[in-house]
Chains A and B, each alone.
Chain A
Amino acid sequence: MFLDEGDIQAIWLTVRLAGLVTAILLVLGTPIAWWLARSRSRWKGPIGAVVALPLVLPPSVLGFYLLLAMGPNGPLGKLTACLGMGALPFTFWGLVLASVFYSLPFMVQPLQNAFEAIGDRPLEVAATLRASRLDTFFSVVLPLSLPGYLTASILTFAHTVGEFGVVLMIGGNIPGVTRVASVQIYDHVEALEYGEAHRLAAVMLVFSFLVLLALYARRPGKQKD
């Protein structure tokens, strides 16, 4: 194998992190996206803006605030202390939590678009056919928004894989705990190990390309079955 043990460890950590974050966001993002797609509340604008914040905020800013919040005097830190879980910064779970915030819009926005595209009519039809709201969600909304779910999952996974700034702020650089692939590359470069950096960077490049290929290749001709 042309990757060393540290690289493989970093990749494995990255995959675990991204997979976990995607799974959490599938559960968390669905109701948020549903609410944003269906609500006529005046809070829709502000909430939508908060969800989209990570798109424009420098990762270091987000990471900084999360670090404060998770610290011993922050609200999250106090909560975890109360629950006897210890401090979150510089742990894997701290990274997971931060990544959930960081990748939220990448899950919510495609889902929101998918839900909005369905419109009111199929929901009304389902209701006149005796389906309750929850039943309607699983029997009509979910199948009709499957492409949206796929897009949202791919984007969330890929975006979490690519994060760097937030990881440095929250997680630091602990091998096997918080040292993800992007940080590992940074380390290689810092240590002037250009060869190693090249290899890992190539892996990331190919991965990113494949993800985008999967995303774009699905677009045309999806009517064919």
Chain B
Amino acid sequence: MDMINARFKVDWPGFTLDLDLQLPGRGVTAIFGHSGSGKTTLLRCIAGLERAREGLLSFNGDIWQDARTFRPVHKRPLGYVFQEASLFPHLSVLDNLRYGQKRSAEKIVSLDQVVELLGIGHLLDRRPDRLSGGERQRVGIARALAVSPRLLLMDEPLAALDLARKREILPYLERLHDELDIPVLYVTHAPDEVARLADHLVMLDGGLVVAAGPLAEMLARIDLPLGLGEEREVVLDAVIGQRDPDWHLARMDFAGGSLWARDRDIPVGRHVRVRVPASGVSLALQPAGQSSIINSLPGQVEAIGDAEHPGLSLVKVRVGDVSILSRVTRRSVAGLQIEPGKAVWVQIKSAAVVE
């Protein structure tokens, strides 16, 4: 069974962690929370770098930790990317990559493959102190992949980089997601990275799990007190269906229909993620007639919840196979007699490809 079962109890002065998680054994699972929420500690416990007082950890049926066993870090089939690349300063880039590769029993991923995947072919002879921050982190990721891990753990791999360097690395992480079938646990506090990379989401707060589940489902849950960022939003998986060069728009097809948004020069057929903020979605009882809004989709109200202000409500609407959140005034909810089960038209004013 492709599954990670993790149960940890940590009691340190000023810090506790108490969680019981079932994580999917495929795709990217984002472990999201503020600093101090315990997300890095969770990752370190899974790696075996930290030993929880009480812990139970199994990966695809293999016991890594229980009351009697504690498999040492170097015997766990994982790769770990640290926040700072932490390359060995006494070794060249190539020797850094080889360090883990030659010690690993598994040889599924070849050195050429990781070098190509992360675009570091021109850096192999360099010393780590001759690399830029972004290059260093790419080598760090390549080094972790070169051991052919069956599980990749990434601890805020972009947090130490500036915006330009993040933009440089994110496409490589997407390729990793698309081309390698390695489950990834990705610790982050950046909503953008979650929206762009994650398939599953675990939200931590104060050492406890707030919620966990598939990303789309999680973002559409109105019972949760917190979203990813300041504003609630959903992220849709979509494919570019058509581009309209005259109006610089692109049609994005998702499981609930299609919507038009600004064209970002992405070719037709490419898989994208589209971000739909709740504040950019309004509701109507009829399809948009004469309006500036170009996206109008039929749906059905699933639930109504509180928004951040007493004057506002969050309405969760089922559109095809996905849920979309709409933030409207409480007065509109009453005036339109919006209630669960009611058919409505979802008008999407702002949607954007996640970049």
A128 x B73 contact (CB < 8 A): yes
Q: Is A55 an interface residue (CB 8 A)?
A: no
Distance in Å: Cβ of A118 to nearest Cβ of chain B: 10
Q: A40 in the interface, Cβ–Cβ < 8 Å? A: no
| Residues B86 and A129 in contact, CB atoms below 8 Å apart | no
Enumerate chain A residues within 8 angstroms of B147, measured Cβ to Cβ. 129-130
Size bin of chain A's contact surface: 10 to 19
Inter-chain contact B49/A130, CB cutoff 8 Å:
no
A207, B353: Cα distance in complex, Å: 72
How far does the alpha carbon of A121 sit from the alpha carbon of B84 in the complex, in Å?
10
Check: A15 CB closer than 8 A to any chain B CB.
no
- Asked whether A130 lies within 8 Å of B90 as measured between CB atoms, the reply is no
B104 — which chain A residues lie within 8 A by C-beta?
129-130
Q: Does B225 contact A (CB under 8 A)?
A: no
A-B contact count (CB 8 A): 58
Query: Is A143 positioned at the interface, with any CB of B under 8 Å from its CB?
Result: yes
Residues in A whose Cβ lies below 8 Å from that of B254: none
Contact B144 A128, beta carbon cutoff 8 Å? yes
What are the residues of chain B within 8 A of A130 when measuring CB–CB? 74-75, 100, 103-104, 147
- Chain A hits for B100, CB < 8 A: 128-131
Any chain A CB within 8 A of the CB of B172?
A: no
Given contacts A127-B49, A128-B79, contact A140 B73 (CB under 8 A): no
| Chain A residue with the shortest CB-CB distance to B87 | A125
Nearest-neighbor residue (CB-CB) of B104 within chain A: A130
B86 adjacent to A125 (CB under 8 Å): yes
Does B305 sit at the interface, judged by CB under 8 A? no
B138 within 8 Å of A (CB atoms): no
Report A123 CB to chain B, min CB distance, Å. Answer: 10
Contact of B99 among A129, A132, A144 (CB under 8 A): A129
Distance between A119 CB and nearest chain B CB, rounded to angstroms = 10
Contact B90 A143 (CB under 8 A): yes
Chain B residues proximal to chain A, CB less than 8 Å:
47-49, 72-75, 78-80, 82, 84, 86, 88-90, 99-100, 103-104, 129, 143-144, 147
Q: Can you list 13 residue pairs at the A/B interface with Cβ under 8 Å?
A: A126-B74, A127-B49, A127-B74, A128-B78, A128-B144, A129-B74, A130-B74, A130-B104, A132-B74, A135-B103, A139-B99, A140-B90, A223-B129
Measuring CB to CB, which residues of chain A are less than 8 angstroms from any residue of chain B?
Answer: 121-122, 124-132, 135, 139-140, 143-144, 223
